[in-house]
Amino acid sequence: MITASILCLVCMAWMAARIWRRSAMLALVSVLAWPLLFFACVRFWDDELSDIRLPFAMFIPAIWMVGVLA
């Protein structure tokens, strides 16, 4: 559970860094309220500079693991 939690935090930081390149406010809000990452995911899905597909794909199983193991 600790490993999955750390992976979630790393993925959130990675996504926030990518989102920050386009919108600093959206990056801050998505870190504070992580369900807004879904909005950022839709907005920046195929953006070359802010592509968050890989960190988001790693975040979903990690957050599921935290929920299952808790």
List pLDDT tens digits, range 10-67: 998 998 898 898 889 999 998 898 788 888 888 888 887 778 888 888 988 998 988 8
**DSSP assignment string, the chain:** -HHHHHHHHHHHHHHHHHHHTT-HHHHHHHHHSGGGHHHHHHHTTT-SSS--HHHHHHHHHHHHHHHHH-
Residue 31, pLDDT score: 86
Contact present, 66 and 5 (Cβ < 8 Å): yes
**pTM (predicted TM-score):** 0.80
Structure token pair of residue 21:
């390149």
Find tokens 């386009």 and name the residue.
22
